[in-house]
Amino acid sequence: MTSPRIVPHHAEARLQMDSRPRWPMERPPAVAGPRAREGTPRVRGTRGDRGSGGAPAPRPDRHATGWRRFAASVAIALALGGCATTQELMPTPALYTGADARIPFPRTSVHAPRPTLDLLFITDRAPAPSGSRVPYTAARSRSMAFGSSTVEFGDGIDWDALVSESVAPRRAGVLHVKLGSTRELGRFPAIPYELDVGPGGAHRAPQVVQAFERTKRDLQEEIGKRVAAAPRKEVVLFVHGFRTSFEDAALTMGQLCHFLGREFVCAIFSWPAGARGGLLLGYDADRESAEYAVEDLVKALRMIGATPGVQQVHLVAHSRGSDTVASAVSALGAEAYMRRSSPDREFRLGNIVLVAPDLDGDVAVSKIFKVFSDPDLPFGDRPDANALIPPAPGLRLTLYASPDDKAIATAGWLFGSIARLGRLDATMFTGDQIDAIGSLRAIDIIEVRGTTDLFGHSYLTSNPRVSADIIALLRYGLRPNDPGRPLERIAGSFWRLTRR
C-alpha cells in the first residue's frame, strides 16, 4: 500500500490518498473574548439585571449600535491606510534643518549617486495578472517571494537637485516619488509542503526541501550583494499597516531609506493588506492576513539574520504591521531562548521600532514578554524556571504613541480594547510598573503630540520631528535626550518629542 502525499498545487494544496481512511479533523477550540484587566472584571448584563433604583437596565438599541460600528469601520478604513503609486516626498526631517542641521548625504567629488533607489522586497501577496499596472495584489499567496523594486524621485531631476530639495525646510514645488520597475527574483515552494508519509511518521519531500534551500540561497546571495555595496552592513526592514498596497509600502520605505542617507540595505516585508470586502470594509480581512503573514516574516528574519556579512537587522513597523512584527519577534525570542541564546545573537535583531501600533496593549505585553512569563519554556533540552535569561544588549524596542491618533482611538472603541498600544501613556501605569520597564533598559515609549495629517495616524512620514527621531536612533545610534536627539522625559522610559 502506498503512502499518502500532500502536494501543493498553485495556491491550494491537494491531498492525494490511497485507500487509508482520512486523518481525523479536530474541532477548533472555542475562542475566548478579550481578556479583562486583572482587578477590573467585566460584568455582563442579563435579562434579570437591574439598574439603579431597581428598574430594569435599558437594552441597547441594536440598530444604533450597528450603525455606530459601521461608521467606525468606515473611519478606520479611511484613517489606517491608503493606496497610491505616486506620493509627495515627505517633509524634511527636523534634524536636517536649522542651525545645528546634520548633513544627510556625503559630498561626492567624482560620481554622484543616481536619484533612483533600489529596494529589496519580500512578500506573500499574490502576483497581479499579466499586464496589470501593479505588481502584487491584496490577495494572499501560499508561496513567499522576493525581488527588487525601484523608487524614483522627481521627474528628470539630477542628484544635486534632489539633495537640495531634500534638505529644504520649505520646498519651492511638489517633488513626487513613484514606483518604477519591480522584478521578482525568486519564489519559495507553496505551503503546505509536500510530505512523504510512512508507518513511522512523515518527512518533507526531498524535492521541496531542495527547492526551499535553493531559493533561500538565492535570497541570501541577493542580500549579500547589497550588504557588500552598502556603507552600513545593516538591514532596515519596513512592515506596513492595514489597507496599504505593495506600492505604498515601497514608496514609504524608499523615502525613509533616502533620509537615512542611503547607507543601509533597505527592504520591505509586504503582507497581503488592502482587502475591500468583509463586515468592516476590509479591516477584519486585513487583521487575519496580518496574522497569516507572521510565519513568513519569521522565516524571512531567520534567513536575513543568517546571511554572511549582515551585522544587524532593524525592524520598523507601522500601524497593524506592529502586530505582525510583535508576533514574529516573540516567536524568534522563544526560539533563541530554547537555544540558550538571545534574539540579537541568533538573528542579529537590533532596533524594533513600532510607530502608531494598532495593537491591544494586553496582547502586546503577552507577546513582548513571552519568554519572561513562561517558566515551562524549554531552556536547552528541558525547562529551567531558574535559568539565567541570556542578555540581549543589541536589542531595543522603541514605541511611538499619540493621544491624538484618531484612527487608533476608533479601533480601540470598535474592539473594546482597554488600551491600544498606539495611545499608550505613562498615566496608565503605576510608579512601580514604570520603574520595572525602566530597569530593562531596552524599552522607550515616545509620546507624539498634535497632528500633521487628517487623522493623526501617519506621523511616521508626515511629522518631521518623528522621522528625525527615528533617523537619530537608527542612523546615529542616539539614545533619548542625547545631544542631537532632544526629548523631554515624562517618567522613567516615557518620553515626549520636543518642539524646535
Contact 413, 79 (CB under 8 A): no
* CA distance linking residue 274 with residue 269, whole number of Å: 14
Please report, in tens digits, the pLDDT of each residue of the chain (500 residues total).
333 333 333 333 333 333 333 223 233 333 333 333 333 333 333 333 333 344 444 454 544 444 444 444 445 555 555 445 679 999 999 999 998 899 999 776 456 678 999 999 999 999 999 989 999 999 999 999 999 999 999 988 999 999 999 999 998 888 999 999 999 999 999 999 999 999 999 999 999 999 999 999 999 999 999 999 999 999 999 999 998 999 999 999 999 999 999 999 999 999 999 877 655 556 778 889 999 999 999 999 999 999 999 999 999 999 999 999 999 999 999 999 999 999 999 999 999 999 999 998 889 999 999 999 999 999 999 999 999 999 999 999 999 999 999 988 887 777 666 688 999 999 989 999 999 999 999 999 999 999 999 888 999 999 999 999 999 999 999 999 999 999 999 999 999 998 75
Of 213, 104, 222, 111, the C-alpha closest to 166 is 104
Of 376, 369, 295, 377, the C-alpha closest to 339 is 377
Contact 220, 303 (CB under 8 A): yes
Q: Which domains does the chain have, with CATH numbers?
A: 65-497 (3.40.50.1820)
- pLDDT at residue number 281: 57
Strand partners, 318: 355
Of 114, 127, 139, 229, the C-alpha closest to 187 is 127
Contact 150, 227 (CB under 8 A): no
Contact 397, 368 (CB under 8 A): yes
- pLDDT at residue number 12: 35
Of 355, 357, 325, 323, the C-alpha closest to 465 is 355
User: What are the residue ranges of helices labelled H in 109-205?
Assistant: 159-166
Grid cell, residue 157, equals 531631476
- pLDDT at residue number 61: 52
User: What are the residue ranges of helices labelled H in 306-347?
Assistant: 321-338, 343-347
What lies within 8 Å, CB to CB, of 239 at 6+ separation is 268, 269, 271, 297, 315, 316, 317, 318, 321, 322, 324, 325
* CA distance linking residue 112 with residue 98, whole number of Å: 25
- pLDDT at residue number 84: 55
* CA distance linking residue 387 with residue 401, whole number of Å: 34
* CA distance linking residue 468 with residue 237, whole number of Å: 18
69-74, long-range: CB < 8 A, 24+ apart? 69/414, 72/410, 72/413, 72/414, 73/279, 73/280, 73/281, 73/283, 73/414, 74/281
